[in-house]
Amino acid sequence: MNIRLPFSLALILLWTGCSEHVHDENCQSNEGYHVHSPLMGGELIAVGEHGSGYNLEVIIDELDRLSIYILDAHAEGFVRISQPTLEVLINENNKSMVLKLDAVADSATGETVGDTSHFRSSSSIQATTPFEGNIKSLAIGSRKYNQTKISYPGTKEQ
């Protein structure tokens, strides 16, 4: 009897059968806790339904500029969008301000304004304490998100 065929079929079933994870509201799967790690070392913010939405990574750089990266559902890759800017209403120390983040072009990745995953403020926001805010409008693919909440714990990127 040729053992290769049953063994190959078992491997295929095992490989395809493990691609779906069922999560409860605490993001726990039957294999244990499911964790997404930020690509750039910032804070991850979920956008949309877990597993089928997107993530934002929020970072304050060494010049105190706010950067937001658009990431895929599991924070494993960058997602380019066509918006030229993001408007963020920041609430910090009982003060509110509207901050404009411009699309960032990157010749190394081929990203351009209108086709990028990175948005950055042009000036310092001096955010050394935690803040919360909302992105006024965000369009990723065919999905539109309004008043997307973001937050940052107050530590800078090192």
CATH of the domain at 79: 2.60.40
Q: Is residue 102 a part of any domain in this protein?
A: yes
Q: What integer pLDDT is reported at residue 121 of this predicted model?
A: 93
**Residue 16 DSSP one-character state:** H
Q: Is residue 137 a part of any domain in this protein?
A: yes
Total of domains in the chain: 1
Considering only CA atoms, which of 74, 68, 65 is closest in space to residue 40? 68
Considering only CA atoms, which of 51, 43, 44, 2 is closest in space to residue 23? 51
Q: What integer pLDDT is reported at residue 14 of this predicted model?
A: 41
Q: Is residue 22 a part of any domain in this protein?
A: no
Q: Is residue 83 a part of any domain in this protein?
A: yes
User: Kind of pairing, strands 143-152 and 131-140?
Assistant: antiparallel
Which amino acid does the sequence have at 111?
A: E
Query: 116: domain range?
Result: 36-152
User: In whole angstroms, what is the distance from residue 78 CA to residue 111 CA?
Assistant: 11
Q: What integer pLDDT is reported at residue 64 of this predicted model?
A: 85
Strands of the 131-140 sheet, one edge to the other: 43-47, 54-60, 66-71, 118-121, 95-103, 85-92, 131-140, 143-152
Q: What integer pLDDT is reported at residue 49 of this predicted model?
A: 74
Q: What integer pLDDT is reported at residue 90 of this predicted model?
A: 83
Task: Kindly give the confidence (pLDDT) of every residue in the chain, 158 residues in length, as a single tens digit, with 9 standing for 90 and above.
Answer: 555 545 444 444 444 333 344 333 334 444 555 566 677 678 898 898 776 789 999 998 888 888 999 999 888 899 999 999 999 998 766 778 888 999 999 999 899 999 999 999 998 876 556 788 899 999 998 899 999 998 888 655 54
Q: What integer pLDDT is reported at residue 34 of this predicted model?
A: 56
Q: Is residue 74 a part of any domain in this protein?
A: yes
Q: Is residue 79 a part of any domain in this protein?
A: yes
User: In whole angstroms, what is the distance from residue 158 CA to residue 155 CA?
Assistant: 9
Q: Is residue 131 a part of any domain in this protein?
A: yes
Q: What integer pLDDT is reported at residue 124 of this predicted model?
A: 83
Q: Is residue 41 a part of any domain in this protein?
A: yes
